[in-house]
Structure 1
Amino acid sequence: MFVSCSDSNFLQSHWKYPIPEQGVPPSHFSSLEKNLNPTSCATCHQNQFQNWKKSFHAKSISSGFLWQKEILTQEEYSSCFQCHSPLAETKSELDSKYQTKEILNSKAHNFSTGLESPSILCASCHIRNQIRFGPPPRDNPKKEITTGNLPHNGYVAKIEFESSEFCRSCHESKETGVKLNGKRLMEVYSEWKKTTFAKDGIQCQNCHMPDREHSWKGIHDKTFVQNSLLPTWTITENKGKYRIQAELKSIGIGHAFPTYIVPKIYLRFYVVLKDKPNPILLEESVIGRIVNANLTEEYLDTRIQAQKTHLVRFDFEPKENQIQKFLWEIEVNPDEQYVRSFEEQLKNKGNQLSNLSRKLLEESLYEKRNSRYTLFTLSSKVPVSLPQ
């Protein structure tokens, strides 16, 4: 059976934590239907599986997560499971507290071929108590009931799967969470609610899941970010003094950019002189929310609000008129906060960690140090491109 409806209590019950174990599958299910491993879902949902497999959802339990078990309290570590490993069955892979008779029995029935990863799986969003949930069919979204011999008893369609509120549970810190300068560490849903995107009905899924694509592209994807920003600049000269004015405008981002405290964007301006091969740095600014490694103090918040602009303006007067060109480089460091925090942990606690945890920490730190990329490079020759 397939039912389509909007239920004001659906999201509250769907994301009620802890999510209970799935239990024993219906007896008439085939072995394929009973197996909740994503590779089984891929039998019919190949496109979704291939995109999910490359996504950060599929890697929510990684070396960067696992090494922290030795520095966090049991309560702190377990609280991370709510979003990083929502299902009771996947949690049992990470913590003996979840290895109850009921959960292990459910895992044996629903993951009979084993769990490849205890991360965010298809079932984390789409299955509760052996019932499949998903968005209404695109060809007939108002269709209410379909009968027939459907795989896994069909599914219950909910329009909430296409609403920003569906994502809120994991992408918005609780009101009781840490606050710095009156702001929670994650407020992406609240940021979105204040924008014209929300007023115009543009949901998270429209940008991060276009055409229902299960890739959830974000700050780590260069092309995705390039399409969301517009860099413009002007250079004028007056009596040997150059004025550089640059603007980076948010044109397709429905929240503060970059969101959260982790990523940073660097704007660097250089001059290239005719007799010197290496560019000379003139100005550098950072866009982001800058907090200390312990998450106890915020120093600066220069993020760009939706459809707003970050402005940089400065003057440069060379000693000699030997300028060949000006350069503007925009670099993205998607994991800046993690790099700084992990470096501090490695320095202060590295010798106290087990060999395995230290190895996981070093692996994650290496990966995050190498996630930086150049977003844009703009060049302006002198004096050809200067206004007359």
Structure 2
Amino acid sequence: MKSPGILITIIFFTGLMWASLAAAEPSGPGDFTSGQFSKSGICSNCHGSSFGEWDGSMHSNANSDFFYHAMLQQYGIAAQEQGLSPEFCSRCHTPIGVVSAEIPPLDGSGLSEVSKEGVQCDFCHVIATSEGIGNAPYVLEPGDVKWGRNMSGAKSPSHEIKTNEFYNESAYCGTCHNIYHPVNNLTLAATYTEWEEGPYAKEGVTCQACHMTPGIVEFEENPGKAASSGPEREHVYTHYFVGGNAFVTEVMGEGRHEKKAVEYLQRAASLEVKAPDSAEPKENVEVEVKITNTGAGHKIPTGVTEEREMWLELIVEDAKGKELYHSGALDEKGEIDPEATIYQTVFADSRGNPTVKVWEAETVLSDNRIGPKESVVEKHSFLMPENASSPISTRAVLHYRSASQEHIDELFGNGTYNVPVIDMATYPEKEEESSTPGFGTIGALIALSMGSVYRRLKD
């Protein structure tokens, strides 16, 4: 029998061994060569469906996104002047390029073909773990072993297959989908944290349950095979990785992904409107619009929210179609009515001025975005004109666009790109009879119950 001292020593050194394994350093520049990674086209030989879904997605275009590159060049100038890490943005957009030390230069001239594929198959499936959330602290182990969420019963003639529980966790997505300023640590994007602190995390609904299934912002089983020679499964996760970017996908000709982005946006929110059907001349007319995040597991909008714009347009007309009140319209330059509320994050630089150049951000001026299953109420009012006639009608539209038209014009020149405006939710959805005398019918989209459906997979 070993003495207590020997046992303590064994336990101590065993603890040190496991601690050293758990504290692996994130993969960095020069740790690998791009030749250690396979191009995604090779994966398509057995994983044709998954490859076809990924192809054209924002993940596949992470490095070729023209909007990203325009901002990246501005960041590159700032990085040289301020001593910032040149590969900071590229860790997520061309990860193989970073760990292969092909970045910098930031213009991509030093990138190999596999690095140009952005967030691609072999990168994603050789992530062993992540040393935290945000700023891409992934630990890579490229080689013959490919990991996935459930590899039971799978065999491959091309590589080894192993199950990695990390692939079932939202933390996998959180590796890149939180961003912190590289110098002052200011939170620049927090999609993962928004989910983690929200109701869906408590219900066990992961990022993958909404963004990697055929359902639109809700889990939907997808029976089939993950590989042509693989076993039949009750569910195979899709690889569209749909988000809300209908702008870049449209410009780049990725129609499938543009369409899916619009579908996601149109299932994310609902409107409820309370407004009178009639009013007397000079009477103060009050309209309330309730906006609810019914379908997103994070805040709306999310991601690079200094760029995103979500706002309400409200139009009230009299019986003859005369406009009595209008808020949230776009002018001829594509700029939003300055009186309208825009739901987004506003950062400030060191002088306190608003900026969309996140590397200049030092504080948050405002953040009025709507959390999952949360609501905000906008109140509008106007005086009924003397020559207006009842009944009056109210229309409301919740709009979204990926960036302001003004910023896109600044980057690329006037008229180069028109940023599409997506109608996320409308009131009324269809003609309905008033259910309460004197008030318009409350209009709403149906809230999505993601949690109960997702639990079917777990059970």
* Other-structure match for 2:421: 372
Residue 87 of structure 2 aligns to a residue in which SS? Answer: helix
Q: Distance in 2 between matches of 1:254 and 1:334?
A: 19
2:313 is the counterpart of 1:268: yes
Q: Distance in 2 between matches of 1:252 and 1:383?
A: 24
Report if the CA contact (8 A) 2:301-2:369 is conserved.
yes
Q: Deviations over 1:205-239 (max 9, x none)?
A: 11111251111112231211222222211213575
* Other-structure match for 2:40: 38
Instruction: Give the fraction of aligned pairs with identical amino acids, expressed as a percent.
Output: 17
Could you tell me how far 1:162 is from its partner in structure 2? 1.7
Q: Deviations over 1:40-76 (max 9, x none)?
A: 2111111111111121011111222334554323554
* Other-structure match for 1:302: 368
**Change beyond 3 A, Cα 1:137–1:289:** same
**Change beyond 3 A, Cα 1:70–1:202:** closer
Which one of 276, 281, 300 corresponds to residue 257 of structure 1? 300
**Change beyond 3 A, Cα 1:232–1:189:** same
- Larger CA deviation: 154-163 vs 59-68: 59-68
Q: Deviations over 1:131-184 (max 9, x none)?
A: 33332437x5xx7xx7x6x322322210111211111121112475556xxx50
Q: Distance in 1 between matches of 2:68 and 2:426?
A: 34
2:322 is the counterpart of 1:290: no
Q: Deviations over 1:59-104 (max 9, x none)?
A: 111222334554323554422111000014896665369x9xxx99
Q: Distance in 1 between matches of 2:397 and 2:264?
A: 18
Residue 160 of structure 1 aligns to a residue in which SS? Answer: helix
Report if the CA contact (8 A) 1:136-1:158 is conserved.
yes
**Change beyond 3 A, Cα 1:115–1:15:** same
**Change beyond 3 A, Cα 1:278–1:234:** closer
More strand by share: 1
* Other-structure match for 2:398: 330
Q: Distance in 1 between matches of 2:422 and 2:171?
A: 31
2:118 is the counterpart of 1:119: yes
Q: Distance in 1 between matches of 2:435 and 2:45?
A: 59
2:220 is the counterpart of 1:154: no
Could you tell me how far 1:319 is from its partner in structure 2? 1.1
Which one of 93, 105, 109 corresponds to residue 84 of structure 1? 93
* Other-structure match for 1:65: 68
Residue 265 of structure 2 aligns to a residue in which SS? Answer: helix
Q: Distance in 2 between matches of 1:89 and 1:136?
A: 26
Q: Distance in 2 between matches of 1:9 and 1:318?
A: 72
**Change beyond 3 A, Cα 1:189–1:68:** closer
* Other-structure match for 2:142: 129
Q: Which has the higher contact order (CA 8 A, sep 6+)?
A: 1
Report if the CA contact (8 A) 1:330-1:375 is conserved.
yes
- Larger CA deviation: 237-246 vs 118-127: 237-246
AA of the residue aligned to 2:395: L
**Change beyond 3 A, Cα 1:386–1:137:** closer
TM-score normalised per structure 1: 0.72
Aligned residues: 333
AA of the residue aligned to 1:232: E
**Change beyond 3 A, Cα 1:135–1:314:** same
Q: Distance in 2 between matches of 1:288 and 1:69?
A: 21
Residue 295 of structure 2 aligns to a residue in which SS? Answer: coil
Residue 60 of structure 2 aligns to a residue in which SS? Answer: helix
The gaps in structure 2 that reach 5 residues or longer are 1-17, 127-140, 214-235, 246-260, 329-339, 348-353, 438-459
Report if the CA contact (8 A) 1:85-1:91 is conserved.
no
Residue 316 of structure 1 aligns to a residue in which SS? Answer: strand
* Other-structure match for 1:209: 212
Residue 236 of structure 1 aligns to a residue in which SS? Answer: coil
* Other-structure match for 2:268: 228
Could you tell me how far 1:315 is from its partner in structure 2? 2.6
Report if the CA contact (8 A) 1:247-1:312 is conserved.
yes
Q: Distance in 2 between matches of 1:170 and 1:52?
A: 17
Q: Distance in 1 between matches of 2:429 and 2:323?
A: 16
RMSD: 3.8
The gaps in structure 1 that reach 5 residues or longer are 1-6, 26-34, 108-113, 347-360
Q: Distance in 2 between matches of 1:222 and 1:187?
A: 22
